[in-house]
């Protein structure tokens, strides 16, 4: 996954925050200017006062549609980025998880049908022939395959939490389980709903569903009698930020898993873990350097990456090592490691 898409997600939400702040500032200026002796300021204040009701409704619609647009856009971006990255992590199409393997074929066929029907503008840039070429590469050249990432993208318009969960199932990701296991997001949920989030279901994600319902009402021209005030959007924005971050991290964690299983090798002979940061193990026929990553499988079956901060051999510190014979080394991973974890190291045969 590309961190730039997460940064763009946060930037887009930040822009909506600034827009809300801008509206609030204008409203305060307007209230004060109504009693100003300056004719232009007075006119501005009176105009805003008379336009107040329609203005609030317009602002409400703009904010709701913008927030939903961020949600829909980045769910699609992250799913497609993940699918596009799989050939770099799992080098043979035949090694893909069975669920992805099957769904790719079925969803690619569906995509061809939708392109033919020309019912979805989001697929206007695609050609049936290109979809078929990628599908053919999977069958005829599984070591150089390409996937139709667009086929996994959820259809737009009503992306409630349950629909997002469904969109992640073809990726072999049980989203609800992973979101509840996400450390930062679980803390956030417990602050909102109490400690027993494991036994709570759809109500945990009510803010997302309510946002989608409001967006649908606006899009379908439903008469809106009750709107959210400017300050009431805070809870929705806060939830969307944390929700999106947790989804992004869930996909990254899945990619760490594939990387560990297909591009890394398990460290079999772990000598010990010290001070929750130093991993000592035996290594041979490999190259290792500061800045490389170790992937760790935790006791909860999560896969996380830790950067190597320091390498030590025979009480001497090195920036890099080229090791042929069996050698005991220690590496500093910063924090958060334990003996009951499983560690993976990249098999690096290139020059350091």
Per-residue pLDDT reduced to its tens digit, 36-89: 556 656 655 665 566 566 778 888 999 999 999 999 999 999 999 999 999 999
Of 46-60, 255-269, 292-306, 316-330, the least confident: 46-60
Q: What is the CATH number of the domain that holds 333?
A: 2.40.30.10
Contact 111, 150 (CB under 8 A): yes
| Whether the predicted pLDDT of 209 surpasses 60 | yes
Co-location of 253 and 303 in the same domain: no
Q: Indicate whether 352 belongs to any domain.
A: no
Range of the domain at 297: 265-346
Q: What's the rounded Cα separation, in Å, for the pair 228 and 56?
A: 9
Confidence (pLDDT) at 42: 62
Confidence (pLDDT) at 351: 47
Co-location of 94 and 186 in the same domain: yes
Q: What's the rounded Cα separation, in Å, for the pair 162 and 157?
A: 13
Residue 31's pLDDT band, with cuts at 50, 70 and 90, is low
Q: What mean pLDDT value characterizes the chain?
A: 89
Summarize the confidence of residues 304-309 as an average pLDDT.
96
Co-location of 229 and 315 in the same domain: no
Domain boundary among 241, 262, 283: 262
Co-location of 164 and 203 in the same domain: yes
Co-location of 296 and 158 in the same domain: no
Q: Indicate whether 15 belongs to any domain.
A: yes
| Whether the predicted pLDDT of 92 surpasses 60 | yes
- Pairing of the two strands 303-307 and 293-297: antiparallel
Q: What's the rounded Cα separation, in Å, for the pair 227 and 54?
A: 11
Q: Indicate whether 351 belongs to any domain.
A: no
Co-location of 271 and 254 in the same domain: no
Number of domains in the chain: 2
Confidence (pLDDT) at 26: 73
Residue 122's pLDDT band, with cuts at 50, 70 and 90, is confident
Summarize the confidence of residues 289-318 as an average pLDDT.
95
Co-location of 208 and 237 in the same domain: yes
- Which of 312, 296, 293 lies closest to 304, judged by CA? 296
Q: What's the rounded Cα separation, in Å, for the pair 28 and 209?
A: 32
Summarize the confidence of residues 88-92 as an average pLDDT.
97
Co-location of 198 and 121 in the same domain: yes
Q: Indicate whether 104 belongs to any domain.
A: yes
The model carries a pTM of: 0.87
Question: Residues of the chain with pLDDT > 90: what percent?
Answer: 70
Q: What's the rounded Cα separation, in Å, for the pair 334 and 214?
A: 45
Confidence (pLDDT) at 15: 83
Co-location of 132 and 269 in the same domain: no
Co-location of 76 and 145 in the same domain: yes
Confidence (pLDDT) at 111: 94
Co-location of 225 and 277 in the same domain: no
């Amino acid at each position: 996954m590309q961190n730039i898409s997460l940064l763009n997600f946060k930037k887009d939400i930040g822009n909506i925050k600034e827009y809300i702040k801008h509206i609030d500032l204008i409203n305060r200026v307007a209230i004060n200017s109504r009693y100003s002796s300056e004719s232009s300021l007075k006119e501005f204040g009176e105009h805003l006062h008379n336009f107040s009701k329609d203005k609030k409704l317009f602002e409400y619609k703009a904010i709701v549609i913008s927030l939903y647009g961020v949600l829909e856009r980045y769910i699609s971006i992250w799913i497609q980025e993940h699918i596009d990255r799989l050939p770099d992590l799992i080098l043979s199409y035949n090694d893909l998880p069975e669920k992805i393997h099957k769904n790719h074929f079925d969803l690619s066929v569906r995509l061809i049908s939708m392109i033919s029907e020309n019912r979805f503008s989001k697929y206007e840039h695609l050609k049936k022939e290109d979809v078929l070429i990628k599908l053919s590469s999977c069958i005829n050249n599984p070591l150089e395959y390409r996937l139709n990432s667009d086929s996994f993208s959820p259809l737009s318009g009503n992306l409630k939490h349950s629909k997002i969960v469904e969109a992640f199932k073809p990726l072999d990701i049980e989203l609800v389980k992973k979101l509840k296991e996400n450390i930062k997001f679980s803390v956030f949920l417990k602050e909102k709903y109490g400690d027993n989030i494991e036994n709570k279901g759809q109500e945990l994600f009510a803010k997302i569903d309510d946002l989608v319902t409001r967006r649908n009402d606006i899009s379908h021209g439903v008469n809106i009698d009750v709107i959210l005030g400017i300050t009431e959007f805070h809870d929705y924005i806060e939830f969307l930020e944390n929700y999106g971050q947790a989804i992004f991290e869930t996909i990254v964690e899945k990619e760490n898993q594939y990387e560990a299983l297909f591009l890394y090798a398990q460290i079999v002979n772990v000598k010990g873990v010290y001070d929750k940061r130093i991993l000592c193990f035996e290594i041979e026929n490999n190259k290792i350097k500061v800045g490389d990553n170790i992937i760790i499988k935790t006791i909860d079956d999560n896969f996380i990456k830790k950067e190597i901060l320091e390498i030590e051999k025979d009480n001497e510190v090195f920036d890099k090592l080229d090791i042929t014979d069996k050698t005991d080394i220690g590496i500093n991973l910063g924090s958060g490691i334990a003996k009951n974890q499983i560690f993976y190291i990249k098999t690096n045969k290139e020059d350091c």
